[in-house]
Chains A and B, each alone.
Chain A
Amino acid sequence: MSQIHRIKGGLIDRSTEISFTFNGKAMRGHPGDTLASALLANGQRLVGRSFKYHRPRGIFTAGSEEPNALVELRKGAAQEPNTRTTVAELFDGLSARSQNHRGSLEFDLMAVTDLLSPFLSAGFYYKTFMWPRAFWEKLYEPAIRASAGLGRLSMEEDPDTYDKGYLHCDLLVIGAGPAGLMAARTAARAGARVIVADEDFVLGGRLNAETLEVDGAAGADWAAGVVAELAAMANVRLMPRSTVYGAYDHGVYGVLERCTDHLASSGGKPRQVLWRVYSRHAVLAAGATERPIAFGNNDRPGVMLAGAVRAYANRWGVAPGRRVAVFTNSDDGWRTAADLAAKGVEVPAVIDTRDAPAVCDVPGARHMRGAAVMDTKGRKGLRQITLTDGQMIDVDCLAVSGGWNPNVHLTCHQRGRPAWRDDLAAFVPGHDLPPGMVVAGAANGAMTLAAALREGRVVAERLGYADKSDLPRAEDEPRDCAPVWHVPQSRARAWLDLQNDVTVKDVKQAHQEGFRAVEHLKRYTTLGMATDQGKTANIPALAIMADCTGRTIPETGTTIFRPPYTPVPIGALAGRARGREFRPYRLTPSHRWAEANGATFVEVGNWLRAQWFAREGEQGWRDSVDREVLMTRGSVGICDVTTLGKIDIQGRDAGEFLNRVYCNGFATLAVGRVRYGLMLREDGIAYDDGTTARLGEHHYVMTTTTANAVTVFRRLEFARQCLWPDLDVHLISTTDGWAQFAVAGPNARNLLRKVVDESHDLSNEAFPFMACGEVTVCDGMPARLFRISFSGELAYEVAVPARYGNAMMGVLMEAGREFDAVPYGTEALGVMRIEKGHAAGNELNGQTTAHNLGMGRMVSRKKDCIGNVLSQRPEMLREDAVKLVGFRPVDRATGLIAGSHFIGQGDAATMENDQGWMSSVAYSPSLGHSIGLGFLKRGDARMGEILRAVSPVHGREMEVEVVSAHFIDPDGERLRG
């Protein structure tokens, strides 16, 4: 059989046949077909089952507004559900399956749902499944989901890739129909950078679907000529298969380009590209969408929009039926009748709701004046229609035209409201368009071809682009329309929203039950949801609601149009961001060394840092970490600390600048010395800490925490540029520029003496604790040396230009071999800082003050700094404030739990009795038991007290003793040694 419904003509390539399958059945089509046109050509009217009632459904439209004919396209992992057959381009080997049926499409077992429809009306779920509540999640929802719904996901990883991109233009033309092409050509000839985007794969819009002429040539030929002219211009970018799905701020538009969806395979290239288009202006020439008329059983396969029937005949050379009646309330339906008749398709009747003379001559058709269709017959496809006067006509296709709605969607993406035009009985763009947008053609209510061409030219001229050539000649075809939304004589269900199975009765019921606002109507009935967003359903439904409430349609209003205009795959939104490349990652200079030496890495922000270096025989991470701590404290350990932020600060006023950004004084810091500094937020809460080294008279290097490296830099730049522009201060980040290593432990100096060039005196006298300087290592390599200690040991940080960092790690380990030097990771670093009682991110958590941290006296009263004033508020300095102290378990064998709260002995574990919290916990291999840091009310005055540390999250509690936070070397003898 194959293409039994093909008729002559169309924009398809008949010289080539391509094969595809639908539900496993082999069919054939031609290049230029959509899946929908090919299915119709093959006589396949039934293509799916409806969402809720499993009603047989067919192809309803010829465009992206399609509510019905959704299929699962492709196989295996590439399977995509809910693909609209009307926009899916046919390719050789295409495989499609119908959706939402149990058993075959023809004998869907779930069709029984339709018999239960009297019980399943709007709001049914809300009312029925209220009780018992616990049943919803486990029973009701899964059951409903199993019986209702659309296509299925493959549940496999998407095998395709996606990309994103950025485009810039003077003029973005949205839609390449007559108005869009005219606007584009006018602007392009004037030299503007123009992008023309159209969702179709053939540019030209309705010109390709009509028999209208432009300048004496077929409309499609004229369009092809303009497209060819535009394609040859360097200042024009044509984007077919590209949907402008959203209008965003500042002239930015979102565009989804389907690059390989029309091919059997993407060939490893991105399947789709999500473009962000920056435009100076945009012309919305998105055309119009035809709307149906609601009547009894108007959802059968074979009932279609009249403009779509015409498009299938004219563009694709397909007759959707052998006997096609037309049911219209406007002149436009007559064109379908005339075009079909001219192509030899039998048109038994034109049923016009208007009692008016024929618009044109349609050979063989009876003209039924002032008539309407009220019912249809045909289980899996239309067989017969019944008119309001009782006449029955045998047809296999009914072309319905209820008038056209301008596609105003994008005009509303920034909360613009459309305006009602009585003469069109339709909403047109309102006055509050997105800035830079103008609207032309049918989208603007210019419903005839001549008007569309004229408007395309006029809007381009209004934007300053001139083209002196004559306007193309075209006719203003008759477009009168007398709105009819619903045939009231219908006794059977009259469908409004085919995708969500919403009927006229459902809307009336929503009204009866008080859901009268359009947004309520939508949620209560599900009208206008899902993939088509009610493009064909919304306005007729609004009209029914308006009728119920006695208000006008504009008074009833529309729901808000939001992006996306048509569905955008999640894969396209993700673009390339998947797997390892989900976001950028940063490597430390010694990463390769660490990889080669058994490091386990941890993500710290974007950084990958060595967490520990496991050795053979170690049973778990604790073994490794304990060893790293003990070996460091016993001899020497080395850790890559490059991730700490480094900011180079220079200028005559650099010292004064530091004095103002740190709460403690920096004015007295001598050249060659380092100082610990604490920054406050404006509100006096501790913000970040680190050290700053003075390398020269006007030259400092600040270190920040890893986490705040960027935010501190930004904050300092703000302070420099905005708060104190009168200071001579210059900042530049050098975080990535220097590979910096902590060398810690009693043998740290001995190790460094082997690496630092001999001319530099590292003795305790010449280079004491908190000294710094520019040195050379390994025979002349410029380096920086800081004698600072996070671990509490005799320690240094040595920095070399980052490209030498990997080699430097090797050199330090090699030089340290005689001392049994050990590399240590972030876990050992953390353990040692807790043992030493140093605050870190857990303690500087955005809730604590210098007062809480036991550093209240650091907030200098002799000078001002950011946060100084507000840090002195009485509440911030409460005498019973929490203070940072140490904790150890009374039963030393017990492990402490971070996040525990401190409760007095015998008190209930309630918020009222909360005395503070444990912020950091570690097992201390140096002490042989668990230790913790935490904040406790008046903690500094409660040494030796026994409290309960309660963790309701873990369901555990333990007794803890309050001790000094400095578990190791409280007097600092080691680090000064």
Chain B
Amino acid sequence: MAEYTLQAEPPLAGTEMEIAGVRLSAPADLAVVSLALPLGGESAAEEAVKDAYGLDFPGIGRSALAGDGTRLIRLAPDLVFALFTHATPDAERVVAEGLKGAVYTTDQTDVWVALALSGPNTRRALERICPVDLHPEVFGVDHAARTVMEHLGVLILRAGADDYLLLSASSSARSFLHAVEVSLRNIA
């Protein structure tokens, strides 16, 4: 029955601006799937991840980039997020199939919205909202942390020298964008 079809309307779709020399954008089609490691099945899970992505589990608060562009972020001893570009609403199934039941997977794609910031002024702007010390020697490339910005839970990831990815709850996307955008405008 194809009488009705559903169009995706991600909350921050199309966000794209440059302020204070910082490029701010919402990555399109970013899928997020959580991987929970079964109690006692950690080694099997690690092997399955290695098979699927060619990566060892990153340490807690660290991330790693697989050859296929998937980024694994270790948030807790038994929790890993997989971030990858995937448009259709079956990201969880795709990851689950690849890991062959070695982990518990949950689709987190629509739980989060993401904002990517890049440019040398990014850290100076984030000083206004991010309590985490982002000094390059403290928060290195591939580091990740969960924190709170303007009362919003945020997962921050340093993807490159001056590239950061911020994830926050999708329902408060507008407040999240406002917080980041104002930070940029205030240093411009």
Contact = CB atoms under 8 A, between A and B. Distances in A.
Interface of A: 161, 163-168, 193, 269-270, 273, 276, 278, 576, 581, 583-588, 592, 606-607, 642, 648, 650-652, 698-699, 726-728, 730, 732-738, 754-755, 757-758, 777-779, 781-782, 800-808, 811, 814-815
Interface in B169-185: 169-176, 178-179, 182-183
B110 A736 contact: yes
B58 interface: no
Most chain A Cβ neighbours within 10 Å, of B4, B89, B138: B4
Given A778-B5, A807-B6, A167 B171 contact: no
A576 B171 contact: no
B29 to A, nearest CB: 10
Contacts of A782: 89-90
A165 B152 contact: no
Given A730-B78, A801-B89, A648 B106 contact: yes
Nearest to B36: A730
B168 to A, nearest CB: 9
Contacts of B6: 777-778, 781, 800, 804, 807-808, 811
Contacts of A698: 104
B106 A166 contact: no
12 contacts: A273-B128, A581-B178, A592-B9, A606-B172, A607-B171, A651-B36, A732-B108, A736-B169, A736-B171, A778-B2, A803-B110, A814-B4
Contact of A586 (B5, B9, B112, B169): B169
A122 B68 CA distance: 79
Contact of A584 (B5, B10, B111, B151): B151
Given A734-B107, A803-B110, 4 more contacts: A163-B183, A166-B132, A698-B104, A736-B169
Nearest to B128: A165
A811 B107 CA distance: 23
Contact of A737 (B5, B11, B110, B176): B110
Given A164-B128, A781-B6, A802 B39 contact: no
Contact of B127 (A166, A733, A807): A166
A163 B111 contact: no
Nearest to B171: A586
B108 A737 contact: yes
Contacts of A276: 131
Given A167-B127, A650-B104, A728 B109 contact: no
Contacts of A814: 4
Given A166-B130, A727-B39, A781-B6, A801 B109 contact: yes
Contact of B174 (A278, A587, A651, A735): A587
A193 B104 contact: no
B127 A588 contact: no
Nearest to A811: B4
B97 interface: no
Overall SS of chain B's interface: loop
A166 B36 CA distance: 33
Nearest to A276: B131
Contacts of B36: 650-651, 730, 732
A2 B183 CA distance: 43
Contacts of A802: 110-111, 170
Nearest to B104: A650
A583 B106 CA distance: 29
Contacts of B11: 587, 803
Nearest to B124: A165
B112 to A, nearest CB: 8
Contacts of A733: 111
A168 B10 contact: no
B186 interface: yes
Contacts of A273: 128
B150 to A, nearest CB: 7
A805 B171 CA distance: 12
Nearest to A802: B110
Chain A contact surface mostly: mixed
A165 B1 contact: no
B63 interface: no
Q: Interface size for chain B: under 10, 10 to 19, 20 to 34, or 35 or more residues?
A: 35 or more
A782 B8 CA distance: 13
B133 to A, nearest CB: 4
A907 B5 CA distance: 64
Contact of A804 (B7, B176, B179): B7
Nearest to B3: A754
A808 B89 CA distance: 14
Nearest to A648: B106
Enumerate the 6 nearest inter-chain pairs by beta-carbon distance, A residue then B residue, closest first: A730-B36, A584-B175, A802-B110, A586-B171, A728-B39, A650-B104
Nearest to B37: A730
B27 interface: no
Contacts of B186: 161, 163, 269-270
A218 to B, nearest CB: 35
Interface in B108-144: 108-112, 127-133, 135, 138
Q: Specify which of B40, B78, B130, B133 lies most central, judged by the most chain A CB atoms within 10 Å of its CB.
A: B133
A736 B174 contact: no
Contacts of B25: none
B61 interface: no
Contact of B5 (A269, A650, A779): A779
A139 B154 CA distance: 53
Contacts of B104: 650-651, 698-699, 730
A470 B175 CA distance: 54
Given A584-B151, A730-B78, A803-B110, A651 B39 contact: yes
Contacts of B128: 163-166, 273
A508 B133 CA distance: 53
A779 B176 CA distance: 33
A969 to B, nearest CB: 31
Interface in B24-53: 34, 36, 38-40
A781 B89 contact: yes
A804 B110 CA distance: 9
A700 to B, nearest CB: 11
A650 to B, nearest CB: 4
B187 to A, nearest CB: 8
B110 A815 contact: no
Nearest to B1: A758
A7 B10 CA distance: 67
A408 B179 CA distance: 37
A260 B166 CA distance: 30
A642 B170 CA distance: 12
Given A781-B89, A803-B9, A811-B4, A738 B171 contact: no
Contacts of B79: 730, 732
Contacts of B39: 651-652, 726-728
A728 B42 CA distance: 11
A807 B7 contact: yes
A117 B179 CA distance: 54
A167 B151 CA distance: 18
B152 to A, nearest CB: 5
A728 B1 contact: no
Contacts of B174: 585, 587
A640 to B, nearest CB: 11
A581 B1 CA distance: 44
B109 A586 contact: no
A801 B86 CA distance: 14
- Residue of B107, B132, B135 contacting most chain A CB atoms (<10 Å): B107
A804 B8 contact: yes
A585 B176 CA distance: 9
B106 A584 contact: no
A581 B183 CA distance: 13
A727 B78 CA distance: 13
Contact of B151 (A583, A732, A778): A583
A735 B182 CA distance: 27
B109 A652 contact: no
A867 B127 CA distance: 44
A499 to B, nearest CB: 34
B4 A728 contact: no
Contacts of A165: 127-129
